[in-house]
Structure 1
């Protein structure tokens, strides 16, 4: 199980340093965020299955001003999975490698780009997204061009939701009762814009499983909003759904790693000027952490 996330090395006091970007940083108050110049790094780490927040950091790539973050992440994951296979950590017949991520990556696009690898991608999507159900079966005697997409599924409009394929209820010690509902073969309706502008031929239909996770409460007694997840797996069972959302919660172990990097190991403490020196120092910190 791998997790991918971005953590910034903030350098607002380095106007002469190259390749800085405006990095999204969460503020100290609710729903407050800031954009601060710095170097964002995309990390890939293996997650532990037991009661520990330790991770094994496998790769780090700095995002440049002209980089497509999703494309860089796809290349990074392809290299990491290739190294894992070469090292014998995955063999034919093993379960697929589960990759979890937050909403910063385009999870459906990653599923398409990495479809030739033995991986399953799982990520959070925004609660205002509109997906499409699978196209209905063609009725006998129907004329005209068959539809490519089924009805709309608007995440913020419950009236558009059909009955879920699976609903599971799990009692947790941290969040109370966790209810997960899933719908199979949900996909976005792609258009020839942004990253799909130069795609040759017809645009693909990238189907997966949509999961809605609702918990009773959060640790600090905030009103919990539902979390929407999308996974590239189709025909998922109830056990697969529970494994998926529990794996997503383990993604937060990587946040503890970032905190250890910065507060204990001093990753962002040096006033390094060049991004190339920052890359070398980042790999030194990864070595120390390992």
Structure 2
């Protein structure tokens, strides 16, 4: 495992200073205020609860008016900042492979009626067995994962999904541009293992693998337990009449009688889950139809073969009854070592949830009541740059633990513990922001005059009227397996 905290000391200070200088160069308007705002996020005492309270942090030398003006009218060169994030040393697995996790997290804005481009976002935990849609701004975030017991990730890109976007196409374009940046910065070279992209069941894995087929990328994603895939076409017998079939027999996830003998089977003892049993079946593919994301495909639909892995564990740390996990990998001819490597890489995907929780609960990503989506994008890039500075400061931070917390070695410090000591690290690094100039507030609206230009209000983007006008059918009590891709 190549960890970013190797080479501490002057080299670590130099790397952190280099990124801070490049981050300042990415700020094209109100750079000083935005740069000090990111430092205030890192040096604040405790979690960030509101945007205005950051103006009281000592590292932010400007008033609350300049803070709001920087977020509302500042400028961030997102393309240059993306490249700066890709140039930072990235974590790798034991075989030198880069593992990227992609997922969508939502900035919920249910009461922001004056904010445009809001979409109904699926939420969890707001009712028993209920997925209540809440208006907000969904963001697709890509992070590089570490191996081993760690909650650290390396955020590399963030993209807000706009109304009407096709998630598969947008994610594929986002990953394509990221992989090209990784290659151009020298993070991946010819001869290195293919980059592994890990996703959850919300993504169409065969579609993603098809769109990224010309890149050194492999896709690993979870599939729903009601899917139906097809086997490879059997060899055609001599003197057989008729058109040759394109698909073999069915492989129904919910019917063990259709599975047959697995190609590989492994048993591993784990610390958290007990005995983990993994079985794999090679060269399975979905039977695609000209619907959903494949509707625009001209001609014959492709056959996207892959390996299906079924993972079973004894128990969960929470005590809940575990369910089998179905994984689909875009590669074929997987051996036992490949199967173990793949399901362990998928379990590391949940580290991105720790990053989202840190963004929202500690760094205050979703706390500001920002009106425009452009300002939300600007604030999002500040949060990603702040987290990257925490990652670069890992070997430099002291363990300022609370009396009830256990001591931790330097390589085991969590992002929250590194943030506690960032205030002492910051003066030893590059601080290019200039001192504020004296100014006086503007006159504002004269007293007693009403606002003659009210802010426009926007509706939440929902499905098109043609879709909503379709007659609703009664939901069947015996759902059938999904037989399409």
- Give the TM-score normalised by structure 2: 0.59
Matches of residues 150-229 of structure 1 in structure 2 within 5 Å?
Answer: 150-229=248-327
Worse-superposed segment, 21-30 or 97-106: 21-30
Residue 345 of structure 2 corresponds to residue 247 of structure 1 = yes
Q: Tell me the residue number matched to 1:270.
A: 368
Offset at residue 78 of structure 1 (A): 0.2
Q: How many angstroms apart in 1 are the aligned matches of 2:318 and 2:192?
A: 39
Distance in 2, Cα, partners of 1:137 & 1:143: 14
2:168 is matched with which residue?
A: 70
Pairing partner for 1:86 from 184, 206, 213: 184
| Structure with the larger helix share | 2
| Secondary structure in 1 matching 2:136 | strand
Structure 2 stretches lacking a partner, 5+ long? 1-98, 389-485
Give the deviation of 1:28 after TM superposition.
5.3
SS of aligned partner of 1:19? coil
**Alpha-carbon deviation of 1:17?**
0.7
Residue 13 of structure 1 and its aligned partner are, at CA, apart by 1.2
Whole-Å separation in 1 of the counterparts to 2:355 and 2:273: 22
Quote the offset at 1:33 in angstroms.
2.6
Secondary structure of the equivalent of 2:355? helix
Task: Determine which structure has more spread, i.e. the larger CA radius of gyration.
Answer: 2
TM-superposed CA distance for 1:140, in Å, is 2.4
- Range 195-204 or range 231-240, more displaced: 195-204
Could you report, residue by residue, the CA deviation over 1:60-97 in whole angstroms, capped at 9, with x for unpaired residues? 00011110011100000001000000000100110000
DSSP 3-state at the match of 1:251: helix
Matches of 1:44 and 1:198, distance apart in 2: 26
Alpha-carbon separation, structure 2, partners of 1:131 and 1:111: 16
Q: Distance in 2 between matches of 1:42 and 1:123?
A: 16
**SS of residue paired to 2:123:** strand
Aligned: 1:49 with 2:171: no
Post-superposition shift, 1:108? Answer: 0.6
Distance 1:89 1:185 in 2: 31
Q: Distance in 1 between matches of 2:293 and 2:358?
A: 35
The Cα offsets for residues 187-230 of structure 1, whole Å up to 9 and x where unpaired, read as 00011122222212211000000011111111111111101000
**Cα distance in 2 between the residues matched to 1:115 and 1:164:** 26
SS in 2 for 1:33: coil
Secondary structure, aligned partner of 1:261: helix
Q: Distance in 2 between matches of 1:68 and 1:195?
A: 8
Q: Distance in 1 between the 2:323 and 2:128 partners?
A: 14
Aligned to 2:245: 147
SS class of match (1:60): strand
Whole-Å Cα distance in 2 between the matches of residues 21 and 239 of structure 1? 42
Q: 1:279: how far off?
A: 0.4
**2 CA distance for matches of 1:6 and 1:193?**
23
